[in-house]
Each structure stands twice: as structure tokens, then as C-alpha cells.
Structure 1
Amino acid sequence: MSEEPKPRRRQARGERRIAQLLQAAANVFCANGYTASSTNAIAREAHVSPGTLYQYFPNKEAIALELGERLLHEMREAHGQAFVPENLALPLPELLDAVVDPMIEFNCANPAFLALMYGSDVPGRIAEEHDELHATLLTRVQEVIAHYAPTLSAEDRARTAGMTFAAFKGGLDLILAAPEGAERDATIAELKTLLLRYLSPLVEKSAEKPTEGYAEKPTEGYAEKPVQVPAER
């Protein structure tokens, strides 16, 4: 008889153990922050011995790297749900729902993301990948603003995107601190109201301006729908 199922079972057990250790690490990082966490604390949280932990990860940094890679992958998928071409056809309030909801859902489901990404001693590779993700997100926000307010200059667009993103991050901190249920839902609604009241005047002002001198160019993130940006002079 074939012995193939045994290695597969061992591999499956190993994957379950890794998932267990990573979840324990996420809990510890959330509670203590990355810098103050230790492999012993992670092992205790996972209900395993330090020796068992070291069979899978040589140190805390290796755990953080694996956890960070997985969280960043899931975060990119959340971006994929939020920034899709068809969302640009929505009115601004519905667009905010479509973009903000997946981002909030991810962060509420993965509170370790912020604890790990913003740790003072976070491994350099995680910090670099997070910075790349942040830059990509800002670019996507600028593309959305370019669609809804095509007469804004590149400088104004970048400034508006930075302010929008800063407002979102500030609101996200309050959302994560709020108890689940009615209070958290109310905080989410308040954040959307803030963003809408900030962006609506820019969109309305842009709509009042003539678009002559502006050329339609597709942006990289929304290749299926042309976005109006200032033509080169």
C-alpha cells in the first residue's frame, strides 16, 4: 500500500501548528506590542512549549515576518475588493461604502496588523512592504479623486488623498477602540460622514469648472475606465 497519505497528514499537522502559533503571536502582539513580546509569551499563548515553537520558528522576528506576509497578502486582497473599476460608477456616498467597508472589515478582523506594522522594532522587510502598500493605497485614492474631481491639479489631488487617508486612519483607531455592536457601527457611520463632508465640496466645485484643457487618460489601477487628469502643457 502507498505511504503517501502519511507525509500529507504530517504536513497538514504542521500547517495547523503554524497557524496556531501565528494566531498566538497575533494575540500577543496586540496585547503587548511587537517590541515587548517574546517567544516565551507566544508559546504560552499557543499552549505549547518553547521547544515546540522553535521547531517551526527560530526567533520572534521569523514569526513576525511570516505573520506580516500573511496579513499584507490579506490586506492587498481587501484593496482588491475596494478599488475595482465598477465602483467608479457609484455616487460618492456609495463609493465610500464600497471602499471603506472592506478596509474596516479587514482591520477589525486582524487587529494585529496595526500592532505589528507600526511597532518601533518591526523587522525591516515588513516595514518596507508596508510602506509599498501604503504608497499603492495613496495612489488608488488619488485615482478615485481624479475621477470624481477631474479638475483638481495633481498637487491638490495628492494633498486631498493624503488628508483623506489620514482621516481614515484616525477614524480607524476610534473604530477599533469602540465596543463591537451599536457603538462601533455608529463610529463607522461617523467616519463615513466625515469623509463625505470633506470630499463632497471638492467634487461639487470640480463639477462647476469647465473641463476644457483636460485629457482623458486611463490610470493604471482603473484601466477599464478612463480617468480625467490635467493634460500636459
Structure 2
Amino acid sequence: MAEDVTGRPVRRRQARGEQRMAQILDAAAAVFARSGYEAATTNAIAAEAGVSPGSLYQFFTGKEAIATALAERFTAQMREAHARAFEGVDASALTLPELLDRVIDPIVAFNIANPGFKALFARPDMPAGLAEAARPIQEALFGRVLGIVADRAPDLAEPERTRTARVLIQVFQAMVPLVTGAPEAERGPLTTELKHVLGRYLAPLTS
């Protein structure tokens, strides 16, 4: 079809290309979650997406390029989850259970909705490109948790605040796979247990 002066056919091709890229990234997230990054192949991702390997290579040069694009998507979505969790929160004005509900629920929801996230960002051998993409969001998370600890426990010395924030993040990250890997009916109770664990750790420090 010839292009008209509005360029509409061009825009339609661009929209189809963007849709196909999103389709491939969705498929990659599913394959990474199911098989892990190392075992995943571009052929498996193409099959999951319902496209030929040749079509996949029209958009991505290989598995690492797909992973990098997916990491960028996850990072943007995680920033949104962190904004819902932390922005506008007056930690000193909430009870500890209220604070834990406000902060934990959006981040757990993100992890449940994005099972491929851990397959990329929890790898000990994360490629440099992915590590670089993850670093700003990890630093921002640490700063926000440290701010909550400072608000809830203003008498703690700075080294203890830092240590407390790191322990909270590590405990959360260790328990989230238990929640996300559970049957749907168990996720709510396990999330409650996660809050209990963090609350019991925080309560003596913030009383």
C-alpha cells in the first residue's frame, strides 16, 4: 500500500513493531521465570511468543539484548511500585502494622506480577549491563528504607540505622520468593507472615 501524506502506513508499521517487541519481552519474562536465565534460549523465547526465531532477531540481537530490554522495563515498573510504596508516607505518623502494609503490599504485588524479575536480578553472575540497570533502583530502595528507619528510630546511631536497613531489605528479598512461588491462596497468609517477621525485628528498635 502506498503511503499517504499523513504517513499513516508508517505509523501502523511502527505500532506493529512495538507490539511485537512487547510480545517478545512478555515471552522472555515467562521463559526466564520458568527456566532461569542461563537455560533460556532465543528459540524458546520465540516459541513462547509465537514468532519465528528470524522474526525475533529482527528486533533483538540475542538473549542478552532481550534481557537488557526486559530489565529496563522491570526497572521502570519497579520505580512505579516504589513510588506507590514510599511516596507521601509519614513513617512516624503510622502504626507499625499500617506502615508495613503501605510499604510491602505494592512491592510484593510487583514481584507476583513479574515472575521473570528475580530470574534476572537475583543472579549472582548478573551481566554488567543488568547490574548497571539495577544499581540506581537498589540504591533508591536502600535510601527509602534507611529514611523510614531514621523516622521510626531517631535515637539509633547512624551505623545501626544502616545495618537495620540492610537487614530489612535482605530479609524481605529472602522471603519474597516464598510468597511468589506459593499457590495463590497461600500468598496472602505468607505476605502476612513476612510483615510479622519484619515487624518483630523492627518493634524493639522503634519502641
Same structural fold, with TM-score higher than 0.5 when normalized by the shorter chain: yes
1:180 match: 184
Indicate whether 1:160 and 2:164 are aligned: yes
1:148 match: 152
Larger radius of gyration: 1
Count of residue correspondences:
203
Q: 2:36 aligns with which of 33, 36, 39?
A: 33
Structural mapping, 1:82-101, within 5 Å: 82-88=85-91, 89-101=93-105
Offset, 1:9: 0.9
Indicate whether 1:53 and 2:59 are aligned: no
Q: For residues 121 and 86 of structure 1, what CA distance do their matches in structure 2 show?
A: 35
| 2:71/2:133 contact within 8 Å kept | no
Q: For residues 17 and 52 of structure 1, what CA distance do their matches in structure 2 show?
A: 9
| 1:27/1:112 contact within 8 Å kept | yes
Offset, 1:128: 2.0
Offset, 1:38: 1.1
| 2:27/2:46 contact within 8 Å kept | yes
| TM-score computed with the length of structure 2 as normaliser | 0.93
| 1:35/1:121 contact within 8 Å kept | no
Offset, 1:151: 0.2
Cα deviation digits, residues 213-232 of structure 1 (max 9, x gap): xxxxxxxxxxxxxxxxxxxx
Indicate whether 1:42 and 2:83 are aligned: no
75-84 vs 117-126, which moves further = 117-126
Distance 1:79 1:22, change over 3 A: same
Indicate whether 1:118 and 2:122 are aligned: yes
**SS of the residue 1:86 aligns to:** coil
65-74 vs 165-174, which moves further = 165-174
Q: Tell me which amino acid in the other structure corresponds to 1:124.
A: A
Q: For residues 2 and 49 of structure 1, what CA distance do their matches in structure 2 show?
A: 33
| 1:34/1:121 contact within 8 Å kept | no
1:24 match: 27
Indicate whether 1:199 and 2:199 are aligned: no
| 1:146/1:157 contact within 8 Å kept | yes
Q: For residues 195 and 120 of structure 1, what CA distance do their matches in structure 2 show?
A: 25
Cα deviation digits, residues 86-126 of structure 1 (max 9, x gap): 34232221111110011000000001111011235533111
Q: For residues 166 and 110 of structure 1, what CA distance do their matches in structure 2 show?
A: 19
Q: Runs of 5+ in structure 2 lacking a partner?
A: none
Q: Runs of 5+ in structure 1 lacking a partner?
A: 205-233
Q: For residues 45 and 122 of structure 1, what CA distance do their matches in structure 2 show?
A: 23
Q: 1:6 aligns with which of 9, 12, 28?
A: 9
1:220 match: none
Q: Tell me which amino acid in the other structure corresponds to 2:56.
A: L
Q: Alignment identity in percent? A: 49
The structure with the largest helix share of the pair is: 2
| TM-score computed with the length of structure 1 as normaliser | 0.83
Q: Tell me which amino acid in the other structure corresponds to 2:145.
A: V
Cα deviation digits, residues 174-224 of structure 1 (max 9, x gap): 10121012x1111001111111111111111xxxxxxxxxxxxxxxxxxxx
Q: Tell me which amino acid in the other structure corresponds to 2:175.
A: G
RMSD: 1.3
Q: For residues 201 and 127 of structure 2, what CA distance do their matches in structure 1 show?
A: 36
